[in-house]
Structure 1
């Protein structure tokens, strides 16, 4: 009898210890690390996976991989994509139609994260914040649910850090072409001591005068997965006139002010961003108690390198190999400080990118560049319309992949919107690069739409969107002569990787069709919190849905 009571006591104590110290598989993670790699195509994992040995390797071996994840937007760009990643909501509902938004009344573009009521704490950079955006992020809901939880966001790009951080984070930091990581007075009145010390160490300074060589000396491994290094459509820059390895990072003379804008075409800012992420975890004691914390990490230079050299370049491949190593060190740090068994790691991308048109042509696709033609389209269309309706700027702006009519001119000329559409759409369809055109009426109605039309509708807003929406042909790129870009509904732009790893997750690949708006609701579900009014759904990390 005494033995039975002793066993019961021991068992009870074990349960108490189990609950207190967090060995309960049903308990939420102590830390969520949400990593978004800018301009990372899904096929990056397929092409380079056998070479990964670090962070990507860890995710491949230990994570749930949703191989059919897509950004459900037609104009795939950083700002609107990150909004959806952080909120689970399509950007059209917030009016985030692109990186910049056109204001008809003011007849000018504006940057949605600009905050004229704040200031940057340590520089003359333009202040940024989430002030003008209404929808709360997953981090906001976490802090509303548990006011002892901490939320931080850090990235190279300001819009990435701001969109992922939300309204009420504990800290949001970005560099955006400067020598240090900054924030605005919207978030705090003074930098933490640890950030002051970090910035004083001049973490980017050590890269001036260095050389970017291939990580793997054997170029054969690159040629098996990429095209040749010497490729004329790759872009040069004012500080690097070479399109081949090695790339020399400029140095500067004593007394000369270093130009930190140079970093956008090199991998190094992302490495320093990860260093800062480790510092935040350590100094802010993230993941140390039963109140879940979140750290958003934006990898930004992948976008700059991708635009300049293209997704099948040796430079892009080398960047991802280096990022893999750096992420491996980051995950090792998290394991030591918090424990990967206590951490949920989520990694995805905002969008992919198009191959260089010359590369696509060599692969047997009909491809081309339409940057030069795009720049004169407003003039071309207005000239044609003037022949019928009289002189006037009928098209006042082309922005975010859409045409904006000047409604004052239409009223003055007594031109019916439908009649004008009937004139403009055929002009657009004459263009070599135009596949089809959608109208404002189609996107604002309940009319059934095809896939591309639905993606456009996900970004449509009655006030901030245009009136006609031409969709370019596949493999046609909005660049004039060099480089590449994104911003279309095609798979190379929308198809992105998605991994969930850590805690009690076991490796598996799921081929369910999912969208990036599903990520935030899924993280919320794992944390045991509720995101209301979202467009995404909760993903099952076990069996196929």
Structure 2
């Protein structure tokens, strides 16, 4: 069973940040302030009707023949294919432009561990988590010398004094290079930039060798220790603190969001479904789960593009942007309420502003937009909307309780079983014969529970070949195999049945999640856009591991041996992929 994934790494306490040390910075606030001021009106823009987008006509080929000068990779955290399908007819700005390009509405994070860190590790590497080594947001290292045995995917746990709560961000657990790293290896002049709302998104898309890598740490945009902040970061941090200090009035509700404006009563005496993102002046707590958070991330990306003059050199540069607010909204308020409708309408505006800023540079840029995973709404709302069998996981599905019962039955001392996000570990201190007995008993007992779809042992997973068929056809064992690492995965991988949400008791700020092997968590959109590219839509399935080799092909960079394949973005007889 995947444990609730909204840990401190999803929603740590957020402060207003340190006061600006440069008074002049506040006087020349970045475009974030102007964008946030206009954010309340952003959803209304979606009612104005489509705006014509100037696209250079194609003379012969249906795709540009020259390499782009800048690659822009955008990940929208928890942006499922279902959300994309639900709202695509309402988009009028950023998403609307991308919809004129090449559209794959059925992209797959094909593995079972549909979490933020594994998903982001696939987008720009071309490899599935079984090869990236990023099998979950967290896993256990029971042999670790520190008392805290939980390892975060983007930390260096060897740092003395660190633990799961106080960690040092690191790229050490990512086993493969990213597209940016490969570009720099081919041409050292290439600049690689990665910015995101979450550290793990920035790290997994940026990789090991970056010029600038920044994430929001709860108070400001931060980076690795000792890395000096460029002026763009200083300006955006000052501007973001100003946005938080000013607060946010309630966003207006566009016509297409009205049907979502309905309260849902939750266990515990609170409601969801009618929030409009109002924030009191100085209240930083709700900032992260709001459209203003994405506005800050994209503002930083915009200013780094301008200040560094990305795409204006002889080489091709790359910038990765991780928009995290959709995930925070989905976890804290669900995916089908008014809050998500307003979030996506606002994000459409924010991405549109970002693309307009890129246009203003005159750079020939290529965009891809996708997501790290999908998501599932709160069962309480599903039960009102024709899905009465949606449920929350029972309290009796607990590795700790199961381990106690097995230990008592086998007369063994100790916890016997440990769990981390569905990876169940048998106590390594047991004798081999004892471990075998515990493993067999745990599989039998877990598999007998009515909400469990499968309890796959290490031996069962390792004998499963990596799938080569379309991802929607994969067995559960093949989905697990795609995110299995022998040194990091559990002795048993536990999978819940469809529509069983692994949150026994929801509370304010955490009502819904993802992490399952089912398609509502696996399917995400993949959109490519470039000026001069003739658009088309391909409804058949592709994978997020196909993104990196597809982008690499447009700049003539070979990527042999990866799990993904090049997607031909030329809708005519030509091809943007290398000849086989």
- Structure 1 counterpart of 2:244, from 196, 200, 207: 207
- Structure 1 counterpart of 2:458, from 440, 455, 472: 440
Q: Does 1:278 align with 2:311?
A: no
Q: Does 1:43 align with 2:98?
A: no
Q: Is the Cα contact below 8 Å between 1:214 and 1:245 reproduced in 2?
A: no
Q: Is the Cα contact below 8 Å between 2:126 and 2:545 reproduced in 1?
A: yes
Aligned residue in 2 for 1:169: 210
Q: How far apart, in 2, do the equivalents of 1:125 and 1:278 lie? A: 30
Q: Does 1:244 align with 2:244?
A: no
Give per-residue Cα distances to partners, 1:224-266, cap 9 Å, x unaligned.
Answer: 4x3x4311239999xxx876334431334xxxxxx64442222
- Structure 1 counterpart of 2:420, from 399, 409, 432: 399
Q: Does 1:89 align with 2:146?
A: no
Distance 1:312 1:70, change over 3 A: same
- Structure 2 counterpart of 1:388, from 406, 409, 420: 409
Q: Secondary structure at the match of 2:222?
A: coil
Q: How far apart, in 2, do the equivalents of 1:236 and 1:325 lie? A: 34
Q: Does 1:329 align with 2:364?
A: no
Q: How far apart, in 1, do the equivalents of 2:388 and 2:486 lie? A: 36
Q: Does 1:430 align with 2:458?
A: no
Q: Does 1:183 align with 2:216?
A: no
Q: Does 1:53 align with 2:92?
A: yes
Give the superposition deviation at 1:334.
0.8
Larger Rg, first or second structure (1 or 2):
1
5+ residue gaps, structure 1, are 1-23, 253-258
Aligned residue in 1 for 2:232: 194
Distance 1:272 1:520, change over 3 A: same
Q: Secondary structure at the match of 2:124?
A: helix
Give the superposition deviation at 1:193.
3.1
My pick for the range that moved more, 139-148 or 423-432, is: 423-432
Q: Is the Cα contact below 8 Å between 1:233 and 1:481 reproduced in 2?
A: no
Give the superposition deviation at 1:73.
1.3
Q: Is the Cα contact below 8 Å between 2:373 and 2:524 reproduced in 1?
A: yes
Aligned residue in 2 for 1:13: none
Q: Is the Cα contact below 8 Å between 1:177 and 1:263 reproduced in 2?
A: no
Q: Secondary structure at the match of 2:488?
A: coil
Aligned residue in 1 for 2:522: 494
My pick for the range that moved more, 390-399 or 517-526, is: 390-399
Q: Secondary structure at the match of 1:361?
A: helix
Q: Is the Cα contact below 8 Å between 2:427 and 2:435 reproduced in 1?
A: no
Give the superposition deviation at 1:432.
3.0
Give the superposition deviation at 1:319.
0.3
Q: Does 1:415 align with 2:434?
A: yes
Aligned residue in 1 for 2:544: 516
Give per-residue Cα distances to partners, 1:194-216, cap 9 Å, x unaligned.
Answer: 333433x3424323453453443
Distance 1:94 1:410, change over 3 A: farther
Q: How far apart, in 1, do the equivalents of 2:463 and 2:313 lie? A: 49
Aligned residue in 1 for 2:327: 303
Give the superposition deviation at 1:448.
8.5
Aligned residue in 1 for 2:371: 349
Q: Is the Cα contact below 8 Å between 2:273 and 2:338 reproduced in 1?
A: no
Q: Does 1:526 align with 2:554?
A: yes
Give the superposition deviation at 1:447.
5.9
Q: Does 1:158 align with 2:199?
A: yes
Distance 1:159 1:115, change over 3 A: same
Distance 1:118 1:168, change over 3 A: farther
Distance 1:216 1:244, change over 3 A: closer
Q: How far apart, in 2, do the equivalents of 1:448 and 1:142 lie? A: 28
Q: Could you tell me the TM-score, scaled by structure 2's length?
A: 0.79
Aligned residue in 2 for 1:222: 257
Q: Secondary structure at the match of 1:511?
A: coil
Alignment RMSD (CA, Å): 2.7
Aligned residue in 2 for 1:368: 391
Q: Is the Cα contact below 8 Å between 1:97 and 1:400 reproduced in 2?
A: no
Give the superposition deviation at 1:463.
1.3
Q: Is the Cα contact below 8 Å between 2:107 and 2:523 reproduced in 1?
A: yes
Q: How far apart, in 1, do the equivalents of 2:242 and 2:132 lie? A: 39
Q: Could you tell me the TM-score, scaled by structure 1's length?
A: 0.84
Q: Is the Cα contact below 8 Å between 1:355 and 1:475 reproduced in 2?
A: no
Aligned residue in 2 for 1:112: 153
Q: Does 1:30 align with 2:69?
A: yes
Distance 1:525 1:118, change over 3 A: farther
Give per-residue Cα distances to partners, 1:398-431, cap 9 Å, x unaligned.
Answer: 11212110132244xx3362x4444222311332
Aligned residue in 2 for 1:378: 399
Q: How far apart, in 1, do the equivalents of 2:461 and 2:104 lie? A: 29
Q: Secondary structure at the match of 1:460?
A: coil
Q: How far apart, in 1, do the equivalents of 2:173 and 2:500 lie? A: 34
Q: Does 1:288 align with 2:322?
A: no
